[in-house]
Chain A
């Protein structure tokens, strides 16, 4: 009987089939089994920590795990149904992930010479506008402004009680011509260019609102700052651009 069986095709078919099934099962385990191991728990806890800025308590963790398991079941079922195939959103997301990885690999520091060359190539971007720091005394009419011109010639004159009340502070610090044009108008902003820094009072200069005596305390000429002072910004621009090029190549 047994020997007859050995000769039967059906027997060998079943035997080999069972053997393959046994190997497969022992290698892959149960496909429908969901294992919540330490790695999963650690990932869930750390995500919560990032979002909520604190540890989970035991109730919260239990809820999160229950949700994770439910999500895992749905995720596996969706995969079995092939829902990821031909889905534009999933396709875009995968491309996006790859771009992120490419960008991360771009964030390594370039050589000193490479960054310096990039800086000079893009000098226009980092060019700093002229900046004015000055004190001003305001009058509505030219005549009133002229009245204190002799007084202002005295060395160390106390100006705190001079001038009329306007809607302007008496001192401005490191303002650009553009900002000052917004406050006083274009005429005064461009007249400031011709003033020499120093302790003497100059003017009166006309604005949209009247006449101003100006003491130009400091003038910072338009310039390209030394790379060291603006390095962080240049570096991130460089890395951003580099990542963009990489992403462009991939995307």
Chain B
């Protein structure tokens, strides 16, 4: 997906890189066949990296290779290429999409019908509910579908149970016209969500403070004095400041935390850090771990109900990078996390009266990702 050589195995040059980013300004970071932000093997310090990962290559049972398959890694490789004096082919923004083949979007955990129609149209076929009796015997005999035993029950297994109820593409456009929306795609002023219709804003500039943040005219001012998601921020005389702002989908769960993911390279070496920047319920951020206090939100797996009166409708803050180094190329993107809710496979099991499979995640944290902002050091 995000290779570092062209079709003939030649390493990238400026010509290829420029052409690639001109033609592919956006990446689908999430869809029903899994989420491609990052992989736990690539981002071992990101506790949210293991999210709706499909571990197979498309339409096979072959394991997929994390390197070269995930967006954050590609963003870092783009910076590493720049360290070598080559254009950045991976300076892309994020969108999500459904990728269902049924003509309908299946991005709601509690109302999930998967992707391909007959093959995965119910909980048994997509491996969330045990297959029993005659059906199990028939499937085993036919040998066309793999069966796995989990917790003493037989389940259909393959890729279906690793798929997710995701995702959406969102744009910040001046008006609801095709031209304005495509312009927003082109300038990467986009964000992706794993299904819910949360809204996410992300800006960078210099000297943003509380008063600036809370001004009635903040949006007009920040476009005049800063840059939105998808843009370059050129080096200034001081360290940059960021504005990040998310609101919940009123039909989905409350928000738990707002994060900024930073990636940077030093002579080609990858570095990344996830910072919590705003916490729900008045939680404070630990300055060493950069993590919010636990807000105590949980899910009752007996009926998928969630903790009441925990979480925020809105999270909004200014932020400065505590580890900022003006010499390093870096990217920053925002990630907005909901409180945990039941995964679709848990809803399937609950409705069928069976137990959720212990080898699948029972709950997930729905999220949104903004397109990155790239910091461009002064010498460039």
A161 in complex: contacting residue of B197, B214, B216, CB < 8 Å: B216
Q: Which residue of B lies closest to A160 (CB)?
A: B216
Q: Is the CB of A165 within 8 A of B219?
A: yes
Per-residue contact bits, chain A 189-219, to B (CB 8 Å; 1 contact, 0 not)? 0000000000000000001111000000000
Q: Which residues of B contact A72 (CB under 8 A)?
A: none
Mark out the residues of chain B between 217 and 250 whose CB falls within 8 Å of any chain A CB in the assembled complex. Answer: 217-219, 245, 247-250
Q: Nearest Cβ in chain B — how far from A162, in angstroms? A: 9
Question: Given A161-B216, A209-B313, A209-B314, is A167 in contact with B201 using a C-beta cutoff of 8 Å?
Answer: yes
Interface assignment of B215: CB less than 8 Å from any CB of chain A: yes
Q: Nearest Cβ in chain A — how far from B26, in angstroms? A: 22
Q: Is the interface of A mostly helix, strand, loop or mixed?
A: loop
Interface assignment of A61: CB less than 8 Å from any CB of chain B: no
Q: Is the CB of B216 within 8 A of A163?
A: yes
How far, in angstroms, from A181 to B197 measured CA to CA in the complex? 12
Instruction: Give the residue among A163, A165, A183 with the most B Cβ atoms within 10 A.
Output: A165
Chain B interfacial residues counted at CB < 8 A: 17
Question: Given A182-B197, A208-B313, is A165 in contact with B251 using a C-beta cutoff of 8 Å?
Answer: no
A167 in complex: contacting residue of B216, B217, B245, B251, CB < 8 Å: B245
Q: Which residue of A lies closest to B246 (CB)?
A: A167
Q: Which residues of B contact A167 (CB under 8 A)?
A: 199, 201, 245, 247
How far, in angstroms, from A140 to B316 measured CA to CA in the complex? 12
Q: Which residues of A contact B217 (CB under 8 A)?
A: 165
Q: Is the CB of A208 within 8 A of B199?
A: no
How far, in angstroms, from A185 to B245 measured CA to CA in the complex? 19
Q: Which residues of B contact A208 (CB under 8 A)?
A: 248, 250, 313
Interface assignment of A186: CB less than 8 Å from any CB of chain B: yes
How far, in angstroms, from A165 to B214 measured CA to CA in the complex? 7
Q: Is the CB of A183 within 8 A of B215?
A: no
A181 in complex: contacting residue of B216, B218, B250, B313, CB < 8 Å: B250
How far, in angstroms, from A210 to B249 measured CA to CA in the complex? 14
Mark out the residues of chain A between 134 and 174 whose CB falls within 8 Å of any chain B CB in the assembled complex. Answer: 140, 161, 163-167
Q: Which residues of B contact A185 (CB under 8 A)?
A: 250-251
Q: Nearest Cβ in chain B — how far from A179, in angstroms? A: 11
Interface assignment of A184: CB less than 8 Å from any CB of chain B: yes
How far, in angstroms, from A60 to B291 measured CA to CA in the complex? 67
How far, in angstroms, from A207 to B199 measured CA to CA in the complex? 16
Per-residue contact bits, chain B 239-268, to A (CB 8 Å; 1 contact, 0 not)? 000000101111100000000000000000
Q: Which residues of A contact B214 (CB under 8 A)?
A: 164-165
Q: Which residues of A contact B251 (CB under 8 A)?
A: 181-182, 185
Mark out the residues of chain B between 304 and 329 whose CB falls within 8 Å of any chain A CB in the assembled complex. Answer: 313-314
Q: Which residues of A contact B199 (CB under 8 A)?
A: 167
Q: Which residue of A lies closest to B220 (CB)?
A: A165
Q: Nearest Cβ in chain A — how far from B201, in angstroms? A: 7
Q: Which residue of A lies closest to B199 (CB)?
A: A167
Q: Which residue of A lies closest to B198 (CB)?
A: A167
Known: A167-B199, A167-B245, A209-B247. 18 other contacts (CB 8 A): A163-B216, A165-B214, A165-B215, A165-B216, A165-B218, A165-B219, A167-B201, A167-B247, A181-B250, A182-B249, A182-B250, A183-B250, A184-B250, A185-B250, A185-B251, A207-B250, A208-B313, A210-B313
Binding site for A on B (CB under 8 A): 197, 199, 201, 214-219, 245, 247-251, 313-314
